[in-house]
A and B are shown apart, each in its own frame.
Chain A
């Protein structure tokens, strides 16, 4: 079959850094072709700063045509390209390649069109997530997926990571909330995937692109669906004496036929840290806490809040508090939203994991994690999306103490292995990136990995788009399996 790849220049003719920068400066404003060490420094990592690499250079194109030219040049010389939005990713998915170009989409920050009647918005890929809802608010609409980083993260990055957030239990992930993307292929073609309609003919490439971590193309534009802003939202906060009771209550509320707008859980470590940080009025004596938000019409919310309160009591809640107005609702969420910075008060460093499990195993997994905590000699706090079974264990450690970082990584790997063992997966929303590539063989067999690599090749035959991320090579899989996929660290037995 014809794979239509253009012939490449030989490695011998590959341009060096200076030569390449000069080529870019012919069509990109020279100030946006960055080559000096000091200005390159902020690009050496994304939100997961334990993985750092200095790129060859960084370009900040301002038009799609410039992106196309960058891609054509890089394709011609087989130079790696790593696309980057706001750099808020947490799995080193936007970590540069030492011999490659970082293509920043920071200049693509315009909201192109809002269609209030059709309830959609067309955006350049560097538009911030929260800015979409702010712009749509005038029409009584908003954009559903609300990752914790929504103040800073961009819609292009959201597509790359298939981002979710507190409200995705009811309103879905990015993949459920986009209509189309404009993408530049690895060889510089500008293509439109999807349309204004709810589906399109042919293979669902939009599904493949969403969550592909920048390995299949450069997203320059996204069309999103907008949702009507609900009449009212209220939140019930319930404290429980055990994590098992709270876990059971999560299933219980779904069984009632209620899909909450958000259903979040914290364990005792998190409750104590967060309460000290925010003073939101959380029950510090509770072993677990649920925050359950219900939204809809006034009548529906009233009906469901009453049901939720009664159900939490039936499942053994030791305390219940329901927001009376938006100010109180915001206060109750304040703790959850500040949970990660709150950890800074009780630990110098933390390592945030991201695995998903079937909800029925919540209690079991949380309890097993506490056993692991003793084994590794590191505390673990849990703040997570209980309704989706998406865990975010925060492993607390001190990077200045010898061996603690390695123990934290090994602990994290064991947690992910446990997630897979109970029927879950190694990453719910943060992506694989570099961070979890060693764990991919836990979830996939060799033929599956081979198939995923073949999918990549269909878009990127030379493998120059964000190389070394997302999917390991088969050779690497075998190496990871040989070392049991885990970072090697001694386990510590507590007295």
Chain B
């Protein structure tokens, strides 16, 4: 186990290094932040001075070297526009994104697994086909459009929910969270549902497929033969077995929820990391873009590690460490 964690950490370090290089080159190639940041009245000398003070006068590889050396000390640079360490800015916006992604995952699980079970048990019924059709819709509708439609319906049309933004927050273990109050949930509901839609479809289909598969297995047949109640067969035998892939996929998809949140946060003016990223790209605030991507990658890596460990716990057949 220790071995696995050590090897994972080493791999992660390599991934982060490669990512940082790619991101750095990409952002460097887009354009010149100075052209966007320095005020129009500034003359060439001012521009040159600012360029030098931000370290943008060096060739890209020297800038990258500089960045790496500082990153080794945990410093991802100062943001150009906010005058603060980039890492602090991104981390300050993380609770909002984590809250949104967690709520979305919760909604996807609560709405997806039971429906999937239902559809899997009666694969040929009309209701199962209806549910499957809905899931297909969930896969194919663009997030931006769904978000706008929900806003137009529930916020503009009916006036039940706010159009965007985050409700009042309260610190929970030092993290400002809005899910402690009703107002917070009112703000969270629409963006969380929008973000959940795709994952809900995925979990529904996964559950339905796994259920169908499980129902054909010998242990279910034997259970039936023993005369157990259907509720017990499904609730204990089937569910226990299909839970393993569901947990794994949920964990892995949590990472992509955080990444996908970019679009949803933009539509709902949700003050998370994704919206920060979009606004930072607009003004080429390179340290913020780099910090966001590195932190997201680190989060991905950490989540995957936790999922692998959970997997090993749930399913003793999986021997971690022995595979290549």
The answer on A and B forming one complex is no
Q: Which residues of B contact A (CB under 8 A)?
A: none
Report A's interface with B, CB cutoff 8 A. Answer: none
